[in-house]
Structure 1
Amino acid sequence: MSLARMLIVIVCLSYVSISWSDAHAEENAKAQLLELLAPYKQLSAQFQQVVVDRNGEQVQQLEGSLHAARPAKLYWETLAPDESVLVADGETIWYYNPFVEQVSIYSQQESLQQSPFLLLFDPTSPQWQNYSVEQDEGRYWIIGQDAAVGQRIAVQFNSQQQLSAVVVDDGQGQVSTISLTDIDSNITHADGFFQFTPPAGTFIDDQRGDRDAR
């Protein structure tokens, strides 16, 4: 075997070894993350959300509360002066802005393709196969198959391995850090809690692609 051919073989074998090692690390990170998320079958928490632009300048700060339950149900409410309500019932996402009296409706399945945020509250979902997980400086980054599309989410736990923060990178230079406090993972939500009925007079913007099929 010539020296040149031997070098090519060595480079190829090294690449295979690195690729296997990276894949193994990603699988381990995903398994660790899902294990840490497993206890959160239902939860409630207060949050503070700080949004910065690509230059690191703060552009927004919000406070509110969130409630979550499996599978992938969420009730997210921000307080004045930026009031809003987001409700995900497992099939549909409702985003209500009381200031403009409008609610936008989205398919939850389609939304998962753009953001893995709701997967945090459904660690048994088969949708996890569409995402890889990388561990970096104590954070677990959840990355879609096409990293150039949609959001990247990082999950952070405190020293007691309790969920403490979520970081959302929108891929356009804007990063939101959601710090959680007063977490209660023993709460039981009432039937119908994760449902939304628009107030009378609300303009409805239905963005679901299957409207004609209903």
Structure 2
Amino acid sequence: MKKIVLLMVLGLCLVAGIARSDNSATEQLIGLLAGVQQLQGQFRQVQYAQEDETVTANSSGRFKLLKPHYVSWEIDSPDNQLIVADGEHLWHFDRDLETVTRRPVAGQQDLSPLQILAGDTALLRERFLVSRTGQGRFRLAPVDDKAAFKALTLVFVEDRISAMEVVDKLNQRLFIELLAVDGESALTPADFLFEPPEGADLFYHDR
């Protein structure tokens, strides 16, 4: 579970699917995302085995998102990890291992699901094939061929994002349910500041 979650949040992009672009679906999704300026709440993640419904792992935690560049994803069970995009750097703090990894945000071409929610909607038109797969369900397949995932599905209930589903190259499926979603309480860039704790091992990939 840890491997799949970290690949997702650290921004490995999705693999292209064989599909026809649906311009109306793209524009409808962009319209829904335009209403998302900030979000916070809790999440529950379930990982399933290849091509069946066997649950292989569970995790839960909290998230925050502020357009256009700020994301916080904190796993508190069963591991204890924090991933933060502060507009300049992408931080990963593994509290169990007491390690901190930092990468520059600038120049990264990969997009994670939460970064798609927070990012430039022009990228949806340029880099993804979007199709509707049901009421409030949108499947995104990127046009590149260098990614770790086959598909991302965004699920909306009453025009509010409620879940995401990621399928990787091994056909493992990660379902992320967003709970107690709050789009009204104000967030600021200060809510995404991160300072490495004293004594942690630091691995900076921008030096």
In proportion to residue count, which structure has more helix?
Answer: 1
Alpha-carbon distance, 1:114 to partner: 5.4
After TM superposition, list the pairs within 5 Å mapping 1:42-121 onto structure 2: 42-56=38-52, 57-109=54-106, 111-113=108-110, 115-121=112-118
CA distance in structure 2 between the partners assigned to 1:62 and 1:77 by the alignment: 10
Alpha-carbon distance, 1:77 to partner: 0.7
Q: What amino acid maps onto 1:78 in structure 2?
A: I
Alpha-carbon distance, 1:91 to partner: 3.1
Q: 1:176 aligns with which of 174, 177, 180?
A: 174
| Number of the residue aligned with 2:9 | none
Structure 1 stretches of 4+ moved >4 Å: 109-112
Classify 1:114/1:36 alpha carbon distance in 2 versus 1 (closer, same or farther; 3 Å): closer
Alpha-carbon distance, 1:145 to partner: 1.1
Unaligned runs of 5+ in 2: 1-19
Secondary structure of the residue aligned to 1:79 is strand
Classify 1:121/1:98 alpha carbon distance in 2 versus 1 (closer, same or farther; 3 Å): same
* TM-score between both structures, scaled by the size of structure 1: 0.77
Classify 1:69/1:112 alpha carbon distance in 2 versus 1 (closer, same or farther; 3 Å): farther
| Number of the residue aligned with 1:155 | 154
In proportion to residue count, which structure has more strand?
Answer: 2
Alpha-carbon distance, 1:181 to partner: 1.4
Alpha-carbon distance, 1:90 to partner: 2.6
Render the CA deviation track for 1:98-130: whole Å, top value 9, x for unaligned. 0000112223355542545411122x3443322
| Number of the residue aligned with 1:38 | 34
Larger RCO: 1 or 2 (CA < 8 Å, sep 6+): 2
In terms of mean alpha carbon deviation, does 51-60 or 110-119 score higher?
A: 110-119
CA distance in structure 1 between the partners assigned to 2:169 and 2:106 by the alignment: 20
Unaligned runs of 5+ in 1: 1-21
Classify 1:135/1:207 alpha carbon distance in 2 versus 1 (closer, same or farther; 3 Å): farther
Alpha-carbon distance, 1:173 to partner: 2.1
Classify 1:77/1:38 alpha carbon distance in 2 versus 1 (closer, same or farther; 3 Å): same
Identity %: 26
Q: 1:140 aligns with which of 127, 130, 138?
A: 138
In terms of mean alpha carbon deviation, does 186-195 or 124-133 score higher?
A: 124-133
Q: How many residues align?
A: 185
CA distance in structure 1 between the partners assigned to 2:139 and 2:165 by the alignment: 9
CA distance in structure 1 between the partners assigned to 2:77 and 2:133 by the alignment: 35
CA distance in structure 1 between the partners assigned to 2:203 and 2:118 by the alignment: 26
Root-mean-square deviation (Å): 2.2
Q: What amino acid maps onto 1:179 in structure 2?
A: E
